[in-house]
Amino acid sequence: MASSTATAHLATLHPSCEARNGDKNKLCLEDREAHDWYRFVLSYPAHLVKDYLERFGGSARQTALDPFCGTGTTLVECKKLGFSSIGVEANPMAHFASQVKTDWSVDPEGLAEHARRAAEVAGRRIKKLAARHGQAGLRFLPAESEALLLKNSISPVPLHKTLVLLDVLGEMADPRFRRHELLALASAVVNGISNLHFGPEVGVRGTKEDAPVVEMWLEHVTAMAGDLKRLAGGKNVPCAVHLNDSRRIQEVLEPRSVDLVITSPPYPNEKDYTRTTRLESVILGFLHDREGLRDLKKGLLRSNTRNVYKGDDDDRLVESNPEVQRIAKEIEARRLALGKTSGFERMYHRVAKLYFGGMTRHFMDLRTVLRPGAKLAYVVGDQASYLRVMIRTGQILGDIAASLGYRLVGLDLFRTRLATATREQLREEVLLLEWPG
């Protein structure tokens, strides 16, 4: 079993899916396998996917799509239930996690044994370096990579041990096990080795001067191997994960290839989703410098002012949408009334338009890959991040989808949550659509 530190980056485990409102977004104990190898703190729960697959009357002959697949909740659950699935994700770290979490073909005994031998080598090397060089021999990240991180994300000694372990995994690399070992390292880093905490925003709390890095990593790999033994029966269920912009689905999917969609796009708020995965993205080499970070953000749906760029033009797709324009004008009027003048605050009204324009582009592109009668579920939430102007995300997206030919089936209340700024209860909903074809 994973250590008590291993759930810091995960949605908290809950003993039952029959949960009260506050627990509805938590992972049930019975759903733990594969899902908790690596998971965003705000991921929607596996039981939600299960519920909508059942409600849609899906069959194993159908293909499900998650166009914002993140760390693979929909994909893993589909694989468990025998559904073919496809994921699209623009964040390289999350894309990697989804790929690994849906690869159950690995020999669990071989993985555990290879990891055990790597742990022995890494442990000896760490001790030898400490004896020979002490603090003077510590390894550090390159300056341009370090600049991408929250200050004090990880202390020098745990970072040094992590980099030594990473070196050993490179030297002893076995292609059969490498990806799973690296994902286990990413999970161990954020769930116990680092100084990060998630509540739900990522931040730094306290300082761990040292940590049993190799032991924590090995514990994660061992838990992963145990899951693989139990999941072996589903290893041949097809699943593909594409690294791509969800606004350009046609680039990676065949026409009329999708029967079901279950997903949760980013919400229109000031949450920079790349910060949630920044430390592990840097350590595993998915990000090296600010130029790479900028390129990553350009491939994401515009949902916050940290990823708005001069050439963005998705907002032109909602120029005739009265509700989006009304919200943008209200945000800008409130900014002026409050005397807010920072560069980011000046972009609040524009990012709201870019968000809904980007989702319009997504819905437009998605139509070509849906089979007639395809059923869709989008987990979305109301927002009030922009100067407390209420954005009813589900209602607006439903209207946009209906204007593009989708049939609006309804909005299910998933749960309510307390807004940080206003202390109001905001609705988190599942937008239900159907594509007539």
Residues 403 and 390 in one domain: yes
Residue 74 parent element (H or E): helix 73-81
Residues 281 and 423 in one domain: yes
Residues 79 and 131 in one domain: no
Q: What is the CATH number of the domain that holds 404?
A: 3.40.50.150
Tokens of 19: 């949960």
Residues 345 and 424 in one domain: yes
Residue at 238 is within a domain: no
Residues 366 and 265 in one domain: yes
Residue at 2 is within a domain: no
Residue at 9 is within a domain: no
Q: Is residue 108 within 8 Å of residue 102, measured between CB atoms?
A: no
Residues 92 and 173 in one domain: no
Q: Is residue 381 within 8 Å of residue 266, measured between CB atoms?
A: no
Q: What angle do CA 398, 401, 402 make, to 5 degrees?
A: 85
Residues 253 and 333 in one domain: yes
Residue 379 parent element (H or E): strand 370-381
Residue at a domain's end among 198, 233, 268:
233
The 3-state secondary structure of 200-212 reads: CCEEECCCCCCCC
Residue at 6 is within a domain: no
Q: Walk along the chain (437 residues) and give the pLDDT tens digit of each residue.
A: 233 223 333 333 444 455 554 455 566 777 789 999 998 877 789 999 999 999 998 888 899 999 999 999 999 999 999 999 999 999 999 999 999 999 999 999 999 999 999 999 999 999 999 998 888 889 999 999 999 999 999 999 999 999 999 999 999 999 999 999 999 999 999 999 999 998 767 889 889 999 999 999 999 999 999 999 999 999 999 999 999 999 999 999 999 999 999 999 999 988 898 999 999 999 999 999 999 999 999 999 999 999 999 999 999 999 999 999 999 999 999 999 999 999 999 999 999 999 999 999 999 999 999 999 999 999 999 999 899 999 999 999 999 999 999 999 999 999 987 766 666 789 999 999 999 98
Residue at 12 is within a domain: no
Overall domain count for the chain: 2
Residues 188 and 143 in one domain: yes
Distance (Å) of CA 362 to CA 94, 289, 401, 405: 19, 29, 10, 13
Residue at a domain's end among 165, 198, 233:
233
Residue at 5 is within a domain: no
Amino acid at 369: V
Q: Which residue has the tokens 């690596």?
A: 38
Residues 319 and 428 in one domain: yes
Amino acid at 324: V
Quickly list H helices, 57-190: 73-81, 92-101, 108-133, 143-146, 156-171, 178-188
Q: Which of 264, 156, 147, 266 is nearest to 211 (CA)?
A: 156
Question: Are β-strands 258-263 and 370-381 bridged in parallel, bridged antiparallel, or unpaired?
Answer: parallel
Residues 210 and 356 in one domain: no
List Cβ neighbours of 385 (8 Å cut-off, separation of 6 or more): 268, 269, 270, 271, 421
Q: How far apart are CA 365 and CA 387, in angstroms?
A: 32
Q: How far apart are CA 376 and CA 72, in angstroms?
A: 17
When computed from its CA atoms, the radius of gyration of the chain, rounded to whole angstroms, is: 22
Amino acid at 240: A
Q: How far apart are CA 437 and CA 431, in angstroms?
A: 19
C-alpha torsion 30→28→303→400, nearest 10: 80
Residues 407 and 281 in one domain: yes
Residues 344 and 400 in one domain: yes
Residue at a domain's end among 233, 261, 292:
233
Give me the domain span that covers residue 407: 19-104+243-435
Tokens of 263: 């997903």
Residue at 324 is within a domain: yes
Residue at 11 is within a domain: no
